[in-house]
Structures are given as C-alpha cells and as structure tokens.
Structure 1
Amino acid sequence: MAGALLAVAALLTAGPARAATREARADTWLYLTVTKGSARTGTVRGTLLRCDPPRLHARAAEACAELGAAGGDIGRIPAENVFCPMIHAPVTARALGRWNGRPVGFRETYTSACVMKARTRHVFAFDD
C-alpha cells in the first residue's frame, strides 16, 4: 500500500517547479484513502482531491474550504459536535500530497467511521 501511494505521489509531482503564488495553488492535491478494518486485510477506498478548482472528490468544495481554513493541516480541522455510537469498527485515514506546494502526510486510526467523519469533516467523506 505504501509503495502504491509513493508511486502515485511520484507521478503527480513530476514536472517543473512552480514559482508564482497562483501557480503554487495549482500544486494543491491530496491522495486520500480510508481503510476499514485491519491494515493488512481491510477494505481500502481512495480518491484524489484537487482544490483549484475543487474536483475529483464527492465533497471537494467543502473539503477544500475546511482544509483552507486549517492551513492544509487535517489535524487542525475543528471537530463536529456529534454523537457516535460506541461501536469498535476501526478505520485508518491517510492523506499524501501537497498543500500550496508544501508536502502533506497524514495517518490516523479512529475507533469508527463516525468518529473519523466528526474529526475530519468532509475531507474523507468521498463515499457520499
């Protein structure tokens, strides 16, 4: 899995360096995956999120707005105040890419999809 993410990152980042501010925003993309269950045997779903303009993700506009407000840091997105049932069904969320030209790497395991959605809002809501 890690090798596949690195291969995707290498393909998507290949090309000339961008210097202008407007062009740097075009270098904003994240490859997002969610693994349900064990990392070895779980089901993996993924998508690419582009933010200038928002596309390739079911909730791209919302996810890009939330990431923009958090400076591209998924961990800084304010959590929603929701009630999640206490059912242990772990999911692992991963993001690899660039935000305004800066590298982004994120990996977090949550106790359930409900908790993940509450803490990351629309970023990993690409199944909707």
Structure 2
Amino acid sequence: MTHSITKAASRWLRRGLPATAALLLAGAVPAQAAQSSLRHADRSDWLYVTVTHGDTRSGGDTRGTLLLCDPPHGHSRAAEACAELRTARGDIRGIPRKEVFCSMIYAPVTVQARGEWQGRAVDYTETFANACEMNARTGGVFALDG
C-alpha cells in the first residue's frame, strides 16, 4: 500500500501540484497532518472540489477536480472561482448568493472542498436541494461541467 501511495504522490508532484495537495490527494497523510506539516512550504491557494449528484448513501455520481489559484487553472471556470474565493477570503459560505429562480425539484447535490487558502485549511461539505441552488450559493467553485 505504501508503495502505491508514494507513486500516486509522485504523479501529482510531477503535474506541478503543491506538495501539500499531492500528499493529501494521494492519501499519503491525513488532511490536517499534510496541511500543518507543510504549511510553510506551500503558499499557493488550492482546493480539491467534488460534486456528487444523487443520494450519497447509494454512491451517487461523483466528479472532482483540483482548483489552483496561483495562477488560476485546473478547473473549467478557474478564473471565476478563484476571483469569488478571493472576494470571500477563501470562505465558500462567504460567496454572495446569486438572485436566481430555481425549480423546487428535489435532485440532491453534495459538494465538498478540501485544501488550503492563505495558509488556512479548508474543509467544506454541504448538500443542496438541486444543482441550481448549489450554483446560486457557491458561484463557479463547484461548476465542473463547464
């Protein structure tokens, strides 16, 4: 198991990922340990974001990507998402809600973001009634479909 974790971390590092993110995504160390032990080595802002459509208890359809913000890349709407996060100082709950009308159809969407922003650990999870509500509340951060 250790050998495959090391190989996975190496792949992420070769892609230019900050060491903290590589270790976290490879599962080499728990999130808090990776972030606290390497906090001073990496100063970039990054989040690994996932969106699960459907009931998470039954597995749902999960998509994920890495959002890097120094410079913005790795995400289909990276520039928009990074700008919104900068305005909210990295707090996803601080992104202003967009005034839109969403249907009342229940199609649950669970989002998760883990990473680091301005040297602080980010661990955010929330379930929304549908994708429209998710987009209204979180802007481009979890907009993984383009």
- Check conservation: 1:96, 1:104, Cα contact below 8 A: yes
Separation in 1, partners of 2:131, 2:46:
23
Deviation at 1:38, TM superposition (A): 1.1
What does residue 123 of structure 1 align with? 141
1:112 aligns with 2:134: no
Alignment partner, residue 37 of structure 1: 54
Query: What is the alpha-carbon distance in structure 2 between the residues aligned to residue 55 and residue 96 of structure 1?
Result: 16
In the alignment, which residue of structure 2 is the partner of 1:3? none
Greater share of residues in helix: 2
Secondary structure at 1:34 match in 2: strand
Q: Which residue of 1 aligns with 2:108?
A: 90
Match of 2:117 among 58, 75, 99: 99
Is the Cα–Cα contact under 8 Å of residues 9 and 96 in structure 1 kept in the other structure? Answer: no
Task: Give 1:60's aligned residue.
Answer: 78
AA paired with 1:87? I
Aligned length: 119
Structure-2 change in CA distance of 1:30 and 1:37 (3 Å): same
Q: Distance in 1 between matches of 2:100 and 2:26?
A: 34
Q: Which amino acid is 2:77 matched to?
A: R
- Percent identity of equivalent pairs: 54
- 1:68 is paired with a residue of what secondary structure? helix
The offset of 1:39, in angstroms, is 1.0
Counterpart residue identity of residue 97, structure 1? G
Structure 1 segments, 4+ long, off by >2 Å, are 9-19
Runs of 5+ unmatched residues, structure 2:
1-22
Q: TM-score, normalised by structure 2?
A: 0.74
Q: Would the alpha carbon gap of residues 62 and 9 (structure 1) be closer, same or farther in structure 2, given more than 3 Å must change?
A: farther
